[in-house]
Structure 1
Amino acid sequence: MVSDFLHVVVKGLWLLVVCGVLSVPGAFAQAFDPYSLEYGTENPPLNKFRVILNKITLSVNSGYGHTFYNHDIPPTDALIERNGELILVPDAPASMGQGSQVIGVRNWLNNPSSENLIVSSEDQVFTTSDTETYSFAGEGKSVPLNLMLYGVIAKKFRIGAGFGLQYHSIRYLQEKNGLTPDYQADLSGLQTRWWIMGGYTIYEYWDYTFTGDFRVGKINRGGDFSKTQLDQGLTFNLGVTIDKNLSKYFRVFLRPSYDFGGYTALIPSGTDIRHRAPTVFLEFGISLNYPIMPRSPIKADHMQMEHVVNHPRTGKAMWVRGQPITKKQNPRVGENHPVLFKYKGKNKRKRNPY
């Protein structure tokens, strides 16, 4: 009986020793657990620099613009067609004809310049009267590339500024009633513009946000347009931005707008001409914010929600995100991947797509 009891005791001691030896490496392995948070660190503060940057939205867009040029010739002016060019004659004499000495203005659309002319027999003269004046209209095309920064106040108001480049071209202007030959413009080149903007979110539906906004700024029409002979003034743009919110950091948007543009040509020795140039724009682009949380520094961390971990190098608790900025940051089941892998593309025809 005693020997059997001693045998059982010895076995028990050996079992305790073996368990103790096996538990030592495990204890060292658990010395750092990225998910084991100390009391009071379950909600660590966010990085202040990231929070400040997150308040600013960066927007980049392109699109298409269609400009409708139109203007009226003052009733005291006349036109001379010479070698395919229309020359403006300010305050033309009532009996203007062959041999008349007049002041002619060339390029009265974009760069008015005057010179003394003698009307020849080859010139075609178009005079105005109290009942008949000349009105011209034409179309220009633009391809813009814009960059804008803005902030959102109280989740509704937008305030910001932007800068843009646009390639603009216009071929000719036609007299609306066909009374004169076409004005051949043949202008093209880069234009720049800057603006300040304001907006207000008027409606939200699911992942879509509708914001009415305006832009007030200045446009530089390029080298073909005189900076001294044109009074370009300010431009006013009114539009609606439709955002598709892919995440709280990333959006794609569409913006139709109407630009109340125009300028005044300062005609030497004559009456200035007001050129109306309203433009319809359709722009599309992306807008993004700097994320307030970095991606997890732990390679083996596959958690998809925003969560707290201990940094593997510093040991400090920190908020991290589990998604790229283009995805929902705290997705519900299947929200970021609504279509199963086996139903995507060529996988639908495979017996075993995995």
Structure 2
Amino acid sequence: MKNKSFLLLIFLTFTLSHQAEAQLFKRKKKKTNVSGFVIEEAPDLEKQEKQLQRRLVNPIRKTINRFNFSIEKGVGYFSYRNPLTDVSVIRDPRGDLLYIVPLDEEQGLTTPINAFDNWFTDLTPIGIERIDDDSHIVRTDTSSFTYNNNGRINPLTFRFSLSLKKLDKGHYERTKEKIYLDDDMIRIGGGIGFGSLKFRNPASTQDVSDLLRGYTLPETKLSTTKLFGSLSYNLYTLGDYSIHADVLGGVWKVKAKQVNKEVVNYDPFFNIGVMFQMKFSKYFKGYIRPSFEMRSYTVSNDLVNIQHKFSVFSIDLGLLFKYPIYPRNKYKADQVQMEHIFNNKIYRGRPFYRKQNPRFGQNRIRRKPNG
């Protein structure tokens, strides 16, 4: 009897213990693709990696790094065209005076005659009571009449842009994970540019009449400013070299002192260029940018409308800077050249203008010891 009671006690104890363990196992059990039982929850490695990155990388520096600052200095050549329409061009040989009048006014049908001798930067009226019989007259409705000139320009441009990175397609095809390279795929930005249009000849010439000769320019140098938006697209990358299609567009104007802004209206300008870029480091790049630009303005009032067109070809040398994601370690004994972790922070071991992560021993930087 005693043995039966003892066996019953052991059976009850085993049953209660098994039920308690089963309840504990249910609380810990998670769904898994692996056959069998999982006692502990697997750590979320992706979450841990993000937390580590947030702790090691300054988020402000990471955000600023997406932006670029560029400075460009160039040399260029421009051709100038001044097509005249709906006017008559007249030269009085006695006073050697060149001026324009609206069509049909050269016939003396109106008194006084509306004549202008400056249609380049203003519409300056001059007093003409009658047109002399020996004056040379060309009507622009009977012949294509254009004054031509050329000159040079030395542009200076400052630009800010936002980078959209290039996707690592090979890694994505293998793992379906989106990893972005250091190379920019697209840059969207804008900036400001300066440059003086310096005419080579003090007088614009035409091919219609030798008797009319040239038109002496009131200004041979026009100081200009432009504001623009820009879009750059990475066409091709090979190692440290890349080719970008670069398009600018915006507004421009001549210095207010040089023109009568009451009668001058500016058309938007467009600039198309190709940027041949070399990467010195992740944060510093250089490039050469040949480009073609078209800009124009009109001088008009109720009587005449005169257009001035510029076609500009220039070659710019540019430098592009990025704010580094990782700072340099101020501890001089740390001479690691690669990006590395030190005191729970990531540092770069090279100046911003040198390549990062070189092989050991290449272009080693020797810092001066403390003393």
Query: 2:213 is aligned with what amino acid?
Result: P
Shift, 1:303, TM fit: 1.4
Q: Answer yes or no: is the 8 Å Cα contact 1:203–1:209 preserved in 2.
A: yes
Within the candidate set 276, 279, 285, 1:251 is matched to 285
Are 1:324 and 2:336 matched, yes or no? no
C-alpha separation in 1, matches of 2:186 and 2:63 = 17
Same amino acid, percent of matched pairs: 25
Query: After superposition, what is the alpha-carbon deviation per residue over 1:18-59, rounded to whole angstroms, capped at 9, x for unaligned?
Result: xxxxxxxxxxxxxxxxxxxxxx99975211111011110000
Relative to 1, partners in 2 of residues 1:335 and 1:173: Cα closer, same or farther, differing over 3 Å? Answer: farther
* Match of residue 170 from structure 2: none
Aligned partners of 1:216 and 1:85: how far apart in 2?
39
> Normalising to structure 2: TM-score of the pair?
0.71
From 145, 159, 176, the equivalent of 2:207 is: 176
- Which residues of 2 match residues 37-48 of structure 1 at below 5 A? 44-48=55-59
Write out aligned runs for 1:274-289 (5 A).
274-289=307-322
SS at match of 2:60: helix
- Against the structure 1 CA distance between its residues 336 and 278, is the aligned structure 2 distance closer, same or farther, given a 3 Å change threshold? farther
- What amino acid does structure 2 have at the position aligned with 1:242? F
Q: What residue is the counterpart of 2:241 in the other structure?
A: 208
Structure 1 pair 113/60, CA: closer, same or farther in 2 (3 Å)?
same
> Residues of 1 paired with 2:96 and 2:360: CA distance?
70
Equivalence for 2:338? 305
Q: Is the 8 A contact 1:77 1:91 kept in 2?
A: yes
Pick closer, same or farther for the CA change 1:195–1:65 going to 2, 3 Å.
same
Q: 1:225 aligns with which of 247, 250, 259?
A: 259
What are the Cα deviations for residues 240-268 of structure 1, in whole angstroms up to 9, with x where unaligned?
A: 11111101100111111111211222145
Partner of 1:107: 118
**CA deviations over 1:198-234 (Å, ceiling 9, x no partner):** 1211111221111112111111111312322122121
Letter in 1 for 2:156: L
Check conservation: 2:193, 2:225, Cα contact below 8 A.
yes
Counterpart of 2:190? 161
Amino acid at match of 2:283: Y
* Structure 1 residue 172: Cα displacement: 2.8
Q: Secondary structure at the match of 2:64?
A: helix
On the 8 A contact 1:75/1:133 being kept in 2, the answer is no
Question: 2: distance between equivalents of 1:289 and 1:85?
Answer: 57
| Counterpart-to-counterpart distance in 2, 1:184 and 1:334 | 66
Q: 1:158 to 1:176 in 2, by over 3 A?
A: farther
| Distance change (3 Å), C-alpha of 1:288 and 1:102 | same
The whole-number CA distance in structure 2 between the counterparts of 1:125 and 1:257 is 41
Alignment coverage as a number of residue pairs? 290
Question: 2:18 maps to which residue?
Answer: none
Give the Cα–Cα distance (whole angstroms) in 2 for the partners of residues 53 and 286 of structure 1.
18
Provide closer, same or farther for how the CA distance between residues 50 and 183 of structure 1 changes in structure 2, counting only shifts above 3 A.
Answer: same
Deviation at 1:125, TM superposition (A): 2.7
RMSD of Structure 2 on Structure 1 (CA): 2.8
What are the ranges of 5 or more consecutive residues in structure 1 without an aligned counterpart? Answer: 1-39, 311-316, 338-354
Q: Is the 8 A contact 2:92 2:132 kept in 1?
A: no
Query: Compared with structure 1, are the counterparts of its residues 129 and 50 closer, same or farther at alpha carbon in structure 2 (3 Å cutoff)?
Result: closer
How far 1:94 sits from its partner (Å)?
Answer: 5.2
- Contact 2:232-2:246 at 8 Å conserved across structures: yes
